[in-house]
Amino acid sequence: MEVKVLSSKLVRPSYPAGAPRPDTTVHVPSSAFDKVTYHLQMAIIYAFSPPGPSTADIERGLAAVLGAYRLFAGQVRPGPDGAPGVLLNDHGARLVEASVDALLADIAPTKPSPAVLRLHPDLDGDIAEIVQVQLTRFACGSLAVGFTANHAVADGHATSDFLVAWGGAARGQLPLGPPPPVHRHGLFPPRDPPRVEFEHRGVEYYRPATPSAGHGHHGHGESQHSIVIHKAHFTKDFVAGLRAKASEGRGRPFSRFETILAHLWRAITRARAIGNPMQASTVRISVDGRPRLAAPPGYFGNLVLWAFPRATVGDLLNRPLRHAAQVIHDAVARVDGAYFRSFLDFASSGAVEKEGLEPTAVSTDVLCPNLEVDSWLTFPFYELDFGTGSPGYFMPSYFPTEGMLFIVPSYLGDGSVDAFVPVFEHSLEAFKQCVYSMDQ
């Protein structure tokens, strides 16, 4: 697929006529949640069927929504005291226009592949903008919208809110309302005196063995093997059957997420063919702190910690689906409001700096025998509408990290679910045999 870049420019925030211009010297310090999360550029891709929305509408909407969500129009910069954060300087977002002399239906990948990296701006290097957008028009009139944002500024919940508001602004639904609350308002102060009631070393933070030591799992020497991303499609009926099987005899059924993840955890573990049944496998699951900390509606930023369900390979393979689902359910339940408040107290206690602790949220190529999952089942990503209707499909970009899963609602809109699963190429066939069977 040859993508021809036609233009690249900055789109700066716009403000209502007569409104006072905001101070562009304000610095918003990073919150404890910003500091502990992944510091990388995340990318998603939308596809819109013809007639695609106009570039003028998209750009006008982007300028308007950046005026309300000013964090996404600023730049990641240290403050006057050297603390990390975002300078609200209205630098703007990068907007790239591109074209492809082919039909989207002929070349659109059914799953993330290296080809889709050409449908959004580069994720590597020194990126000046927090948000980048690429509009790629195809010969058939279809439009691909590649969106990237710095994860250290906002999590998936906040980003999906931004995207929905962007669509509304493009459709002329103005004004957008008051700016969303952000960290600088001091919404989540530590307690006085602090009460660190849970262990956070080895969970959100780790202590490097040496200043140059890396962190994470390296796949037991398997990182040289090629990794492919399989898109597993689960119909609504298949998911219902899994939930019934996992929840049999249980008063309250497991959630759709708990059930699907339990099924994937077992299928991937079986496909990996790990020889030691006592080998532990852990899943890193994002847990939204908004309901747990009673965050105000529309809070914009990062507000996520993680649950870490853990089981042995033997238990995952030999015990029923219900066991894995229960382990997941219990681990998520433990990351409650008390746990979030304990984290805030620990993060502000000075222990992180004194002990030289580093965040455990770091990227790596191989997670085996562990997993990480990003669930977008409840985010309104499909509600992005620039004026010509919802997107035909939506997916994460190409992130070939073995064991890092994305679970999203299917573009079919019929209650089915898609899971994007990076696996070793030599494990792919075994995984496909397991993942579509309820009797594994």
Instruction: Report the candidate in 339, 110, 107, 108 with the shortest Cα–Cα distance to residue 229.
Output: 110
CA distance linking residue 112 with residue 135, whole number of Å: 18
Report yes or no: 119 and 144 within 8 Å, Cβ to Cβ. Answer: yes
Q: Tokens representing 181? A: 């609350």
> Phi, psi at residue 264, to the nearest 5°?
-65, -40
> Phi, psi at residue 61, to the nearest 5°?
-65, -40
DSSP state of 57: H
Indicate if 439 belongs to the active site: no
Instruction: Report the candidate in 93, 71, 165, 175 with the shortest Cα–Cα distance to residue 386.
Output: 165
CA distance linking residue 398 with residue 43, whole number of Å: 8
Instruction: Report the candidate in 429, 348, 22 with the shortest Cα–Cα distance to residue 186.
Output: 348
CA distance linking residue 435 with residue 428, whole number of Å: 10
Q: Tokens representing 56? A: 């003028």
CA distance linking residue 387 with residue 169, whole number of Å: 10
Q: Which of 151, 157, 263, 329 is catalytic?
A: 151
Report yes or no: 118 and 3 within 8 Å, Cβ to Cβ. Answer: yes
The 10 Å Cβ neighbour count of residue 41 is 22
Instruction: Report the candidate in 280, 290, 394 with the shortest Cα–Cα distance to residue 335.
Output: 290
Q: How many CA atoms lie within 13 A of 222 on its CB side?
A: 20
CA distance linking residue 18 with residue 262, whole number of Å: 54
Q: Cα 192 to chain center, whole Å?
A: 33
Q: Which of 155, 161, 365, 385 is catalytic?
A: 385
DSSP state of 425: G
Query: Helix (H) and strand (E) counts for the chain?
Result: 11, 18
DSSP state of 402: B
Q: Which residues are catalytic?
A: 151, 385
